[in-house]
Every structure is written in structure tokens, then in C-alpha cells.
Amino acid sequence: MRPSTIPDHSASLVWSTSRYQVDLRVVRVMGIVNVTPDSFFDGGRSSAAVALKHCETLLQQGADLLDIGGESSRPGAESISADQEWQRIEPVLRDALSLGVPLSIDTCKPEVMQRALDLGADIINDIRALGADGAMDVVVNHPQCGVCLMHMSGHPPTMQAAPWHVDIVSEVRDFLAERVLALVERGVDRQRIVLDPGIGFGKRVEDNFALVRGQQALLDLGHPVLAGWSRKSSLGAVTGKPVSDRLCASVAAALAAAQCGARILRVHDVDATVDALRVWSAAGLL
């Protein structure tokens, strides 16, 4: 595990999930496992065997958690049915349960959430913050699963067409505060909840960077922050690099988010991110 001191602005130091109590006194790396043909960076991993091998590789590189998704949420992506999504996820999740780390399922469909939790998943990671009919019920009715609530403006097919925000930090804070309150009022323990500002989801480049600078406003809600900057288009806008050449920018963004208080980094490039965190921690910057 990577040593780290705790910033004064840290929220809860534990993320309570189905099978694990995730210690957030260190910054955790969540490895992305896309079981999709069309994700914006690493689509094409639609074979369960290939996806499971990728899970094992990410763990060898130092991932602390895995986030398995069966539907692309890239800008312009079209939705698929719950059955199709589950057919992609189920064999990977079933085999990955033996890997000994918390498993997150990246879905906004309550049917997929329920099936995944019934099979043994630890966390629901929802880009719609449990906004679909029945989604909140699934989490409320589960005794222990973790949940990540994300802010998104609009919907994936059109969210980047013409995003506009006056005060993005306040907008994201207020939205996530409302979603947290809705869960807590229905009996969900606060230690089960993590917040994601939704970098790139219906936001302009300047909005995304304002959110990392303003991360303290989310931490003030009393919950850990998960940051997902990996390979995002805002990094391309700053560097002029295509998605395939955004490794350095992704690592830099992850470090910036961690230094501003994020405790979980959702990344494609686990190996490089883990190395960077080790150096940052050795330098006393985390």
C-alpha cells in the first residue's frame, strides 16, 4: 500500500461497501474495466476473458478497486438495453469476485444494479446519481453496498453539444448535496457514499478545471471525492494531444485532484498513476 498523510480537508476516512471497508487514509486507485466495443479510449474489450485478464493486469499494477462497465457513456453514446449491458458485465463480475478487491459496477440501470449486487458486487457507480426510476430503491434496500453519486448535465448523446454553467462548483455541490440528503433520509449510512463531480459530463473545459480548484466545496459536504480525469477531452484541449497521447496529462490531473483532496482516482493508466502517487507521497505532497 502507498503511504500518505491525510489533508486537513479529508472527509470520511472509510468507504463502507458490501464486502470491504475501504481505508481512505491513503489515496486509492480505481482501475477502469470497460467491457464495451465503443468506449472513448479503450473500447473493444467485449470478451469476458480479455476483460478478466485486464482486471488481473490492473491489480498487478497496483489498483485498489476495479470499476466494471458494460455501456459507454462517452459523448454521443447511445443507450443499450439492461439485458445487453448485463450480458457484458455478468461473466466478468462473476470471475472477478475472487480477485480480493472491491468491485464497482458502472451503471445507471436499476435492473443491472440489482443483479450485480445480488451476485456480490461491492459498489454502484452511477453517472445519473441514482436518478433513474427505482435506482435509489436498489441502494436503499441493500444493507451495505457502497455508492458513488456523480453529477452530469444532460445525457451522453447530447451533453457536450452546448454546455453552459454560471457557477459550476455551486451547481455541482448543490446537486450532490440534494442526492446525498435523499439517500440519508431513507436510512443509508453516510460512510457508504462517495461523490464524483463528473469531469467531462456536460461541462466546458473551464468548468472542469474550476471543479478541481473548487473541490473543497464538495469535501465540505462530508464525503470522499472520486475524481475521473483519465484521458478526458479537457486534457486534450489543454495539451493539443489526441486521446492516445494523454498519459502524462492524465497523471498530472490525477495528482492535482489528489492534492486538492480527492481520495479515489478512477483511471485507465494504473501503473503510471500508482508510481506518481508514490513519488508525490515521498515528497510529502499528499
Q: Which residues are known to be catalytic?
A: 232, 266
C-alpha cell, 66: 476495479
C-alpha cell at 122: 461491492
Quick one: 252 exposed, middle or buried, by C-beta within 10 A (0-12, 13-18, 19+)?
middle
The CA distance from 220 to 222, in Å, is 5
Instruction: State how far the Cα of 151 lies from the Cα of 180, in Å rounded to an integer.
Output: 12
Q: Which residue has the cell 506518481?
A: 276
Q: What share of the chain is helix, strand, coil (3-state, %, to 5)?
A: 40, 15, 45
Measured between alpha carbons, how far is 88 from 90 in angstroms, rounded to an integer? 6
Between CA 229 and CA 240, with CA 235 as vertex, the angle to 5 degrees is 160
DSSP-assigned beta bridge partners for residue 33: 68
* CA 162/CA 51 separation, integer angstroms: 34
